[in-house]
Structure formats: structure tokens, C-alpha cells
A and B are shown apart, each in its own frame.
Chain A
Amino acid sequence: MGMTMTEKILARGAGRESVRPGDLVLARVDFAMGHDLTIPPAGKIMREQMGAEKIWDPERVAVTQDHFQPAKDAASATLGRLTREFSHSMGIKWYFEVGQGGICHTVLPENGLVLPGELVVGADSHSCTYGALNNFATGIGSTDLACVLALGELWFRVPETLKFVYHNRLKEWVEAKDLILYVIGQIGVDGARSKAMEHTGEALRHIDMEARLTMTNMAIEAGAKNGIMEFDEVTKEYLDGRAKRPYTPVSSDSDAEYEKVFEFDVEKVELGVAKPMSPDNYAPLSEVAGTRLDQVFIGSCTNSRITDLRRAAAVLENHKVAPGVRLIITPSSHQVAIQAEKEGLIRTFLAAGAAWTTATCGACLGGHMGVLGEGEVCLSTTNRNFPGRMGHPKAQVYLSNPAVAAASAVTGVISHPSEVLKHMPAEIA
């Protein structure tokens, strides 16, 4: 019997010939990540409770200062300091200081730290993002991370795999974000609970790596353990000159077993949003067009990489943010910010009247720099809109792609981007 990519990676990590869904395995980890909210508890548990003095491999750990950094208050400054001290005292090679890294899920891929065939864990639920690069990547808690830091291994239940086959090509304006929101709308926020989401099909060939990362990023929004994609030319090109270690891609066997196979004709997928207050509350854009907005947020590990910002800038060029609306743009990494500066995107944003911030998770989790008040309505390019996610539990959050967000900031209501820009230039679409 064949195995899926996910099963093969877990089998290799566990030192076994094969594994089946439901097996509990103890597997070696190739790379681990923590940040300013999860390193302090993990470090404390590892040292004080587990009694470990050093970490298993300082070259295979990354730490970012992204959630509440630059420190939003004195208490988060303490978390930042504990994160910094732990990273330095453990000799962690991939420590990213404020102003030099950004959001973990952008920083790790762009630095070539998470590679095909690898078993990656991160103490953050969106660690499933990395799977677009043909690895098994999953979110874990702080005690989990402490275990990995101490031993380099962790227990896993081998998940059943759901296969998503995408046919045809996305239409103009429709992005990977619209596709994944549509898929989550179809299967629900627990539709892939504890399972692997394997994305495949010819539609992916036309979806670039940054957009693929948007799709695997939201696997957790369907409750999945991981999201994973095949290795192809797009993967190889992205990693050339970037990968920090040699790697071995993995592919699913033709006789691998899937719990269920979903097929989608992506040409039929419309521009869409997730309505308040759940990521599976999908609606075509036409249904919510005209909804009045207080804030538009373009940011997060989901949709604030350079390609996202290019599309937002194309829409905002020579336009102004509508009166009564505020537009906040947060690049997802320092490298993204540098590139945006080079390309003149920041000038466009500032001229449009947007607030441009440093790279941080910021408003996405209601941390800082764009927290919502009671009754406010926000259109956001982020991943999650459960009650209270971005601030007050009675704030209303809609999720969309960056072009829709930018256009809606210009009109002041949820709008189709073609109302502001006739066509997205082909080279950045």
C-alpha cells in the first residue's frame, strides 16, 4: 500500500518503513520555530520543569519577535526580553530581532529555512504555512516546543489525508485567497479537523509560491493538522539560492490512500469574502458589496508578502483612501518592506493616505496598531475572524484578498477592485 507525502515524512522522522493514519509515532524534527508569545513559556518549561540546560540543535531553531513587538506595553517588553535572552543563551542561530525579521511564517520561507521533505513544527497555529514548500509543518503548543527544544523529537498522530484537486485556472481578479476561503466555506472550520490537506491539480501550476503559502497558511482554519503541496518547478525556483540546507522532495504514491478526494473547477470560483464571525462563512463578493467599513487592514502571514503589496499598490495608485475609513498596511517581513521601498510601493501607500507600519502580526490578532473597537467594521486580508480576534468581540471582520481590500479602502465600502482599477497588470496578477 502506498503512502501520502505526509505519511512518508512522518515515517522517515519516526525511522520506520511505513506508517498508517491513526498511528502514534515519536518522530525526529528537522526544524522548529517559536516567537515572543511562545518562547517565554517554552523556555521556562524546558529549563525549570524538564531540567534541560541546552537545546538539541541551535542551527535548527528560528525565533521571531513578531506578535507584540516592537513591544506594545511593558508586559510585552518583558516577553520580548525573555525571548531575546533565551535565544542568545541557547545560541539559537536563526534569531530575528525587531526590525530584522518580521512575521515568522514569512521569515522562515523567505530565508530558505523550511525545506521539502522536512518535518517542521512551530509554536504557532499558522505554522502549517510552510507545507506549500513540500514539507510536513504543523502548529504546536509551548510544552510541545519545550519537548522539541530539549530532545529534537515529538509525538504525532499520523493524520488521515484529504486530497483537494484543483482543475482549470483562476479567473481574472480571483486569487488563491478567494479559492481557500471558498474551500473552507465548503468543508467548514472543522472540515479537516486533525487531518492533512493535500492540495494538487493543474490549477496550482499557475499559482506562485507566495499565493501557495496563502493557501497552506489557512489549513488550520479548516482545523487541519497540516497543508501540503507537491514539489514542482515553482517550488524549485523559489528555493534556488535560498535553501539553507540540501533537501529531498517527497511525493505521494499513486496508490496512496485518501480519506476523501475533493475536486474543484477553480474557474467557477468567484471573488469572495468570509463574513463575520467565522472563516468558513464564505460569501461571493457580490453578496456583501456596499458594506460600509471603518477600517481596512492589509497585513499578516496570510496576505502581506511582496506580491500581495504589489497588487494593493496597483489598485491604490493615484487614489485616496475614502473619508471615514482608515487603511493600515503592515508588511509581513523586513525583507518585504525593503523590497516595497525599492519598488516605490510605500510612496503609493503613503500618497493614498494609508498608515504604513513596521512588520509585525499587529492588528491581525488584536495585538496593536489597528485593534478594533465595539461595533466597528473591518475588511482584512488576514486569516481568522472569530469574535474578538481583532479586538472588541462586537467588532465585525470580513476577510478578503489584498486587491479587494485596497479597492474597498478607496470606495469606503466593500467593492470589486475593477471599480477602481480596470485590469490588474498581467505581470503582477
Chain B
Amino acid sequence: MSLPKVVRGRAWKFGDNIDTDQIIPAKYAIYSLDETELGKHAMEGVPGHETWAGGVTRGDILVGGSNFGCGSSREIAPVAIRGAGISLVVADSFARIFFRNAINMGYPILQSPQAAEAVEEGDELEVDLEEGIIRNLTKGDEYRAEAFPQFMTDLLKMGGLVPWVRKRLEERRQRAAVRG
């Protein structure tokens, strides 16, 4: 699974410090292995968003404020957002475990304070993931995303930590075979 170069979708706006229990309330952790079921309840804990997931069109883009995804380490937070059909999460900043989890899953996220401030709910966005450019087709604006360190970009491009580990395990097996 490799990343698309460009994604396009409608923006859903959220505020600062949206925590993982709002992204996916802990009671749904019983569905930890079921992305579709998790997706149905994504963002349900954010007041006024109890039925939010039902309104998402596949490919839409979530735009959060600062410290997006703070709280628990549960990977079901980005999994639920992906399960709801969101193609990309843009935020002013991310809490670190949410950030790690998304990169490890090969799920695209972008850090862009500019976009987080300027984008309004419903704006049509076109995002060049390779260049890190967010075009607001509704407003005619353009925002830059911050560049990630090379290793993270490589992980994302590769499809996350799973293919990386597979490769490393294979190298170890080969080394062991050579030593015989």
C-alpha cells in the first residue's frame, strides 16, 4: 500500500486538544480489530458530532487544531478516522503518539498551522502529499505543510512500519543463513 500523490476532498474542521477519547470513545475499544465498526463512531465524543461519521464522503479531509490526538496511545484513534473514510488529517500540531501511530500505519498526516487557521468547514481542498502543498479550491489559497524528517517520509512512502519490519526480518534471516 503506497501513498497517493494527490488527495482531494471536503474539509471537516475541529478545534484544539481533540483527545483520543473524543476521537473514539474507549467503549468502542472492544472493536479494536474492526476498522469499519470503529469508523462508524469516529469523532463521536466531540460534542455536537455524535453522528458525524455518517456524513463523511470517502476522501474527505479532517483539519484539526493544536495537539490533535492527545491522550491515549490507542491506535484505534487514527484507525477510526481512516475507517470513517477520511483520506488525510491536517492539523496545527499533533500529539506524539497519534503522530507515531499514523506514520506507522502509513496513513497520511500533515502539520500545517497555516491550513489549520485558514481552512473553514466545507472548503474543498486538494493536497499534494509529496510536495506538502494544501490548495484551498474554495478560497483560492495555498498553504505549506511542514516537512517531516527523512525517515518518517520514507516510512510513509513505504506504507508504514509493517513493510519496514518485514524487510528487516528478511535481512536478519539472510544474515543468519549466511552464518549458517
Contact = CB atoms under 8 A, between A and B. Distances in A.
Interface string B140-163: 000000000101100100001110
Contact of B162 (A68, A143, A151): A143
Contact of A365 (B21, B30, B104): B21
A393 B47 contact: yes
6 closest residue pairs by CB, A with B: A75-B30, A141-B101, A190-B67, A143-B104, A141-B75, A125-B73
A76 B26 CA distance: 12
B66 A387 contact: no
B162 A50 contact: yes
Given A68-B30, A125-B72, A193-B95, A157 B149 contact: yes
B30 A44 contact: no
A278 B152 CA distance: 31
Contacts of B160: 143
B67 A223 contact: yes
Interface residues of B, number: 45
Interface stretch (B53-61, B80-88, B165-173): B165-173
A52 B26 contact: no
Interface string A41-69: 10011000111100000000000000110
B30 A51 contact: no
A398 B104 CA distance: 34
A278 B15 CA distance: 14
Nearest to B34: A75
A24 B162 contact: no
A13 to B, nearest CB: 16
Contact of A51 (B33, B104, B169): B169
B13 interface: no
B73 A24 contact: no
Contacts of A146: 161-162, 165
Contacts of A284: none
A189 B16 CA distance: 10
A275 interface: no
A150 interface: yes
Given A50-B169, A365-B21, A141 B73 contact: yes
Contacts of A17: none
Interface string A205-235: 0000000000000001001010000000000
Nearest to A149: B165
Contacts of A143: 75, 101, 104-105, 160-162
A150 B169 CA distance: 8
A225 B70 CA distance: 11
A242 B5 CA distance: 53
B96 A225 contact: yes
B7 interface: no
B168 A144 contact: no
A387 B22 contact: yes
A189 B26 contact: no
A52 B95 contact: no
Given A144-B100, A189-B70, A41 B45 contact: no
A358 interface: no
Interface string B68-94: 001111111000000000000000010
27 contacts: A41-B32, A44-B33, A49-B162, A49-B166, A50-B162, A79-B30, A140-B73, A140-B97, A141-B75, A142-B75, A143-B104, A143-B160, A144-B104, A146-B165, A155-B155, A189-B70, A190-B66, A193-B95, A223-B70, A278-B17, A365-B26, A365-B72, A366-B27, A384-B21, A384-B71, A387-B21, A388-B22
Nearest to B17: A189
A124 B30 CA distance: 16
